[in-house]
Amino acid sequence: MGEKTAAQRGWSYALLSRCRGELMGVALLGILLFHTYHLAVIPVPVIEWVKSVGYVGVDVFLFLSALGLSLSLARRPQRLGDYLFRRFVRILPTYWLVVGGYGLLLRLAGRMSLRTVLWNLSTLYYWFHIPNTFNWYVPALLAFYLLTPFLFRALERCRFRELLPALTWCLVLPVSTFLGIKGYGYVNDFVYRLPVFFLGLLVGWYIARQRALTGRDALLWAALALVSPLPGWFFPRHGIYFPPILTFALLCVPVCLLAAKLLSLAGEGGVLRRGLRFLGESSLEIYLFNVIFVLEYDFFAAFLDIGRGRVFYYAVTTLLDVGLGAALHRLLTPMTDALRRRPDPH
């Protein structure tokens, strides 16, 4: 028992799996803070810096989602239809209820056509560049779900599997530049995240195979972290746009490992970890409500934007994000869990 406890307290890739819910909670907080566009400048440099880079919370979500998918696929064989059904049923009922309800309200108010409402419900609007639609994240997430079985199969069959995310990272800049030239740059929010998603699949495979976090691994992640600023310095000097998301892709694994290690020291049942797990469990629902409050700032600000610095507005809407999201998660979870537990022939 003592040896097991000592192993759990050490550094390992499994830390990411054990603290996955809490890390999602941290990522959500970063996104909520990033979305405070209208909040007055806070005279605390660290908070202002987090506000400016909080968008990488989406990348952490995708990394952790890929990690979970990889673990699931590595542990047992799954038919493609069963795999997709279980993943889509976690996302789509929630999405349809929130975004569909929001779209119908806009339709009744004369602010959205029925055609646009239907495009929103289909999640295809992102790929066809339909104007006045919802948000890129859920369509991109569903596309990643579709790609995962094929990416995971390639990862398993490749002898030098670490080269696959590395190659993906190298290809993103030319591919995204080409798409921009051809008029398809609107899909680059998805393209930019391919490396970090592939990294999640790789680390999930490591965990499933009980691969140790060796000193060599630690040196590799540390080296990537050290060189991560260089491309962002080099390419802009030559007139080439370099997305900061690709810088974070090189930092994601060491940053998440460090955060997971710090969280593991806080104790499983502590207030901090329980609170972050609570946010992580309802992160999709909270995110969807948060996007609505961001999109409808002008409407809600008419009666919530009081006091100095718009602090009251964001305090109230953040509480509503969390409260409504957690309530909807609790309401839908029994149904979605029952659907996901349907008999599997394997």
pLDDT of residue 340: 75
Answer with the residue of higher pLDDT: 276 or 301: 276
State yes or no: pLDDT of 3 exceeds 70.
no
State yes or no: pLDDT of 4 exceeds 50.
no
State yes or no: pLDDT of 344 exceeds 80.
no
- What does the pLDDT look like over 50-59, one tens digit per residue? 888 999 999 9
- SS3 category, 55: coil
The answer to which of 36-40, 139-143, 203-207 has the lowest mean pLDDT is 36-40
Answer with the residue of higher pLDDT: 68 or 11: 68
The answer to whether the pTM exceeds 0.75 is: yes
Grade residue 342 by pLDDT with cuts at 50, 70 and 90.
low
Q: Where are the domains of the chain?
A: 2-340
The answer to which of 27-41, 196-210, 217-231 has the lowest mean pLDDT is 27-41
Half-sphere exposure of 81 (CA within 13 A, CB side): 5
The answer to which of 34-38, 134-138, 164-168, 278-282 has the lowest mean pLDDT is 34-38
Kindly state the tokens that stand for 116: 């646009």
pLDDT over 70 for what percent of the chain?
96
43 C-beta neighbours (distance < 10 Å), count: 7
Report which of 147, 93, 122 is spatially closest to residue 340, judged by C-alpha positions.
Answer: 93
Q: How far apart are CA 59 and CA 193, in angstroms?
A: 7
State yes or no: pLDDT of 201 exceeds 90.
yes
Q: In whole angstroms, how far apart are CA 265 and each of 10, 269, 272?
A: 10, 11, 11
pLDDT of residue 10: 74
Q: How far apart are CA 211 and CA 213, in angstroms?
A: 7
Mean per-residue pLDDT of the chain: 92
pLDDT of residue 6: 38
Q: How far apart are CA 133 and CA 139, in angstroms?
A: 11
Q: How far apart are CA 71 and CA 14, in angstroms?
A: 11
Phi and psi angles of residue 162, each rounded to the nearest 5 degrees, phi first: -65, -20
Cα-trace Rg, the chain: 21
